[in-house]
Amino acid sequence: MGFIPFRFLQNIMNKQRIYTRLENINDSLHDLECRLESLFTERDRRELEKKRSKLIRERNKLKKRLYATNEE
């Protein structure tokens, strides 16, 4: 069995963490969207919209990072 470079293993671990985080973000976004449909007050709706946009920004950053690691 050959030697596997540490950098390669580290890259795989980072990708796995990114995929896990993306999955969690997508689950959270789905929950938020379901809750948004049932809200009546504008204040609560705005608060959830802020959380939603923050999660979307984080998801986009992770996708960019994942794309960058795939380019290497």
Q: Is the predicted pLDDT of residue 1 greater than 80, yes or no?
A: no
What is the structure's pLDDT at 60?
96
Confirm if 48 and 31 have CB atoms less than 8 A apart: no
What is the structure's pLDDT at 63?
93
Report long-range pairs for 18-23 (Cβ below 8 Å, ≥24 apart).
18/62, 18/65, 18/66, 18/69, 19/66, 21/62, 22/59, 22/62, 22/63, 22/66
- Across 43-52, average pLDDT: 93
What does the block give as tokens for 51?
A: 């959380």
Residues 10-32 have pLDDT tens digits of: 788 888 999 999 999 999 999 99
pTM as predicted: 0.77
Tell me how far apart the alpha carbons of residues 38 and 56 are, in angstroms, rounded to a whole number. 21
Q: What is the mean pLDDT of the chain?
A: 87
What is the structure's pLDDT at 68?
82
